[in-house]
Amino acid sequence: MSASTGEPGAASPVRMTVNGVAIEREVPPRTLLVDFLRRDLGLTGTHVGCDTSVCGACTVLVDGRSAKACTLFAWQAQGGSVTTVEGLAAADGSLHPLQAAFHEKHALHCGYCTPGMLMSAMDLLGREPAPSEADVRRAIAGNVCRCTGYQNIVAAIMHAAAHVAPAKDAL
């Protein structure tokens, strides 16, 4: 993306693949990835929690790796692939095994942290198909939950890892 001519901060094109779909929009450079996803693409599954890079409610995958979308500009994903929670379920609506595990193990109450937890779990399962409980807790150390006490979230991720194929081939 070349420098804008005209006033600083003028909109310019951003292109990336989101949940497998090629998209292009014109946005100002200061547009955060989380707001690009929510406002420009209507993908409101990714949440803004603290907006200060701590809580992880905004976690998505960028090129297969977890990242806090409130701490990235949209142009930093230029030419790359972004996966949000909306990209987990199959085209027919059937849940991703990780989502099914969260359901099975009651790993959410209010659900606000859940998309971020799922995407951090996807990062983990993409690089470690047989994680220990310690691995799981480290993988979600950047995701805060105010409701569950984490126990069932950890159990759900362990359950998904043990009972499903590695997540990396699912997206």
Binding site for other proteins (CB under 8 A): 1-4, 7-10, 28-30, 32, 51-53, 56, 59, 62, 65-68, 70-73, 75-76, 78, 120, 123-124, 138-139, 141-143
Identify which of residues 13 and 94 has a Cβ nearer to other proteins in the complex: 13
Identify which of residues 9 and 20 has a Cβ nearer to other proteins in the complex: 9
Beta-sheet pairing, 81-83 with 59-62? antiparallel
Identify which of residues 94 and 132 has a Cβ nearer to other proteins in the complex: 132
- How near is the Cβ of 106 to other proteins at its closest, in Å? 24
- How near is the Cβ of 91 to other proteins at its closest, in Å? 28
- How near is the Cβ of 142 to other proteins at its closest, in Å? 3
Q: Which helix (H) or strand (E) holds 81?
A: strand 81-83
Q: How many helices and strands in the chain, by DSSP H and E?
A: 5, 5
Strand extents, DSSP E, the chain: 12-18, 21-27, 59-62, 65-68, 81-83
- How near is the Cβ of 152 to other proteins at its closest, in Å? 20
Q: For residue 140, what is the DSSP state?
A: T
Tokens of 137: 């807790």
Beta-sheet pairing, 81-83 with 12-18? parallel
